[in-house]
Structures are given as C-alpha cells and as structure tokens.
C-alpha cells in the first residue's frame, strides 16, 4: 500500500465517531505507516488516549505548554512546528464541526489547530456530525474554505446517525480513509499529466417544464458528475462543468460551472464549450422527452385523466459524437435496467463514443442518490473494465486513470 513508510499525524476530535479512530490507527500501522495521534480535549471524553497510544505504539499528544516551567523533554510540552514538519500527511478524523470552524478561520487554541497551521504536508479532513449540522450553511462554507486552501475533504457518508436520524454525516469508514490516502499518493505521479487539457463534463438532471409550476425530471443528484469534475481538476485539467439543478457546491476551486435547467439549455451550453474540449464526459441524466406545448399558466385539475404530449429532446451525446474531431475523447454514461451490456454497446457505437460507462439499477449501492457506484467501462474495441462498488470519488479517479492510460 502507498501509506507504507509514511508518517501520518492523526487528529482525533470530539465526536461520537472517535471510536472509529482506534480501527483507523490499527489499519494504518498494519499497512506500514508511522502514526502519531494528537487528541483534542473533548475527544478524550469519547475514547481514552491509552487505547490509541497502545495501538499506535506512541504516546498520544494533546497539550500545549501548560506553564512557564514546561520545557522540551517534559511530557506536557509538544512542539507543533516539529510535528507539522514531521508528518507526510495530517488526517483529522473525525473532524467535528467545531474543529472545522476553528481550522477554516485560523483559530489556534489547542495543539491540533497549531499543528494544522504549521503543516507543510497534505491535510485531510474527514467530517463527522449529525445530518443537520453537516448541511448547515456554516459547515458547508467551512468545508468549502478548507478545500479552497488546498486541503482534502473525505466526505461524510450516508446512513443512520447516533441521533437516530438517517442522512449524511457519518464518518467515512477507516478502510475508505486509507483508500483515499492510497489514491492520493498513487495518483500524485499523475497530478499534472492533464495540465493544459480542457475537460467538459455534464452532470445532474434536467427539468422539462409542463407549466410554470411543474416539470418532468429524474432522480439524479449530480454526485457522480461532480466527483468526476473534482478528479479531473486535481489531475491538473481545466474543467468546465455544465450542471443541471443540484444542491451541490462547486467541486473544487478553479472549475468553471455553467448552470442550466432544461435539456435544450444543456445542449446549448455543451455546444459552446465542446469546440475547445480535449476530453468530454457526459454523465448528466438528460431527459429524453420534453412537453411539446408547455403551458404559460398553471394547469388546473379538472379531468380525471390528463394527457401530456411529449416530443424528443436533442441527443447531446450523438450530436457531439458526430462533431468529434480527431484526438478528441468522448465518454458517455448508460444507466440500464435490462439488457445492460447490449444497450450500452449500442450507445457506444451509434453515438461514436470512446467509452461508455455502464451502471445498473440492479446493483445495490449504484445509481442515483448513493455516495457509491459500481461501474463497467467498455471502450470502442469492446474491451470491458469492471470495477467493484466504490465511493463515487474513487470511481471518478478510476475514470481519470483510464483517460490517462489512453493518452
């Protein structure tokens, strides 16, 4: 594993998820990493320093100089500058809402925040909190600020929380955190290989108006497309993201996002960016049909049966495939429920794509709304690359790797 031989400073903060830090330390040590744990005072209410010291084989650090008599060598004295220089990576897991706010605004009132401000290495934040705290505008903004500073966010997972609520906010599993670190160091060799390349990505659903109040849409959240945009940006590419309506924030600093609503608007936006694009990834769930005659006023409920005449929307993938110039790479998506491979191959060839990314609603954890996906990528020679169920960020990295290999 790529974490072997790395020096990891693990920051543990006050969250019920702190119990997972024991397994994270154990897995990191087992993978060959050196681990130094730094705990906040509140973290010690959830898990004892002795547990993490035993697993890491190092004393757990948690205090600043506590009096003028403390000196280097005393157990209570810790040099945050040396710790910041020692680490190959800092991983703050769990990162509470309080710690995120402290680091995002530069507050420095404990050892962990001082180490963070002194660090010259990559820093990874793995947030953990209740769903409403995670989606609160202040937390969203703090995560955005931290990412804009060049830090890495390991997104919270969806599931049942300690409060009994169900939603996003669960700490990423220790295995997923280690996979993120592995992917970072494995991918660091390729970090700038797409510099100078322009990538056009479509993401999210479209909305087709029936009247000023109602529309036809689908269950796409845009998570997959936004993860792809983030992965290409991290690989050094210039990214234009044409996005249908989503609740997602900009995936990474520097990405140019164009917001659209309808299939026609998405087509027009992609046409503008297509000519200069080296790589095109069409991951949006575009409506196949749109109302032929949308009403300009709200349609009132009268008849027991109501008919709506629909007309086909323009096929963005087929249109761009017909316009594709030599050297331009085009990747499409196919979400299928029946005859998956047969339908995907048909789209691949008819639309002149270089790859088709197939996922099936039959696969648990794949498709709309999930933080995970399970894909099979088929190239124009009909060679299939099958991938296991992974987080959408990891799936996005797999797609970037395929593009890099083809280049």
Which are the catalytic amino acids? 218
Alpha carbons 341 and 353: distance in angstroms, whole number: 15
The answer to whether 333 is a known ligand-binding residue is yes
Alpha carbons 18 and 206: distance in angstroms, whole number: 40
The answer to whether 298 is a known ligand-binding residue is yes
The answer to whether 324 is a known ligand-binding residue is no
Question: Longest C-alpha distance within the chain, in Å?
Answer: 85
Q: What is the dihedral of CA 350, 366, 125, 184, to 10 degrees?
A: -50
- Residue carrying structure tokens 């390349």: 197
Residue 270 · residue 259 · CB < 8 Å: no
Alpha carbons 171 and 106: distance in angstroms, whole number: 23
In terms of Cβ atoms closer than 10 Å to its own Cβ (0-12, 13-18, 19+), residue 101 is middle
Question: Hey, is 191 helix, strand or coil?
Answer: coil
Alpha carbons 37 and 55: distance in angstroms, whole number: 10
The answer to whether 301 is a known ligand-binding residue is no
The answer to whether 302 is a known ligand-binding residue is no
- Residue carrying structure tokens 């590419």: 237
Question: What residues are designated binding site?
Answer: 288, 298, 333, 347, 351
Question: What residues are designated binding site for CTP?
Answer: 288, 298, 333, 347, 351
């Amino acid at each position: 594993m790529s974490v072997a031989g790395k020096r990891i400073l693990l920051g543990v903060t006050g969250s019920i998820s702190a119990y997972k830090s024991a397994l994270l330390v154990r897995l990191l040590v087992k993978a060959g990493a050196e681990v130094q744990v730094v705990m906040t005072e509140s973290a010690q209410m959830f898990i004892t320093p002795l547990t993490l010291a035993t697993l890491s084989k190092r004393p757990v650090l948690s205090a600043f100089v506590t009096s003028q008599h403390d000196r280097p060598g005393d157990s209570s004295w810790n040099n945050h500058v040396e710790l910041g220089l020692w680490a190959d990576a800092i991983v703050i897991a769990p990162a509470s809402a309080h710690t995120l706010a402290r680091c995002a605004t530069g507050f420095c009132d404990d050892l962990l925040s001082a180490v963070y401000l002194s660090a010259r290495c990559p820093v990874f934040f793995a947030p953990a909190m209740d769903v409403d705290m995670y989606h609160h505008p202040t937390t969203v903004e703090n995560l955005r600020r931290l990412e804009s500073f060049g830090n890495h966010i390991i997104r919270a997972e969806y599931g049942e929380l300690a409060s009994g609520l169900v939603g996003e906010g669960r700490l990423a599993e220790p295995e997923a955190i280690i996979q993120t670190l592995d992917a970072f160091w494995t991918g660091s060799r390729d970090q700038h290989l797409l510099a100078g390349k322009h990538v056009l990505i479509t993401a999210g659903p479209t909305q087709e108006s029936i009247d000023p109040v109602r529309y036809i849409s689908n269950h796409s959240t845009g998570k997959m497309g936004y993860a792809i945009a983030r992965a290409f940006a991290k690989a050094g590419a210039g990214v234009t993201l044409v996005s249908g309506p989503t609740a997602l924030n900009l995936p990474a600093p520097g990405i140019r996002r164009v917001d659209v609503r309808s299939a026609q608007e998405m087509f027009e936006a992609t046409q503008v960016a297509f000519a200069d694009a080296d790589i095109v990834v069409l991951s949006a769930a575009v409506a196949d049909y749109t109302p032929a005659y949308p009403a300009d006023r709200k349609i009132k409920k009268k008849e027991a049966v109501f008919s709506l005449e629909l007309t086909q929307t323009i096929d963005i993938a087929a249109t761009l495939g017909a316009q594709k110039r030599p050297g331009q790479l085009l990747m499409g998506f196919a979400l299928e429920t029946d005859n998956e491979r047969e339908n995907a191959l048909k789209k691949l060839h008819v639309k002149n794509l270089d790859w088709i990314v197939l996922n099936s609603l039959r696969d648990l954890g794949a498709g709309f709304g999930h933080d995970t996906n399970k894909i099979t990528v088929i190239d124009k020679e009909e060679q299939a690359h099958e991938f296991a169920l992974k987080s959408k960020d990891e799936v996005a990295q797999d797609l970037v790797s395929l593009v890099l290999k083809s280049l």
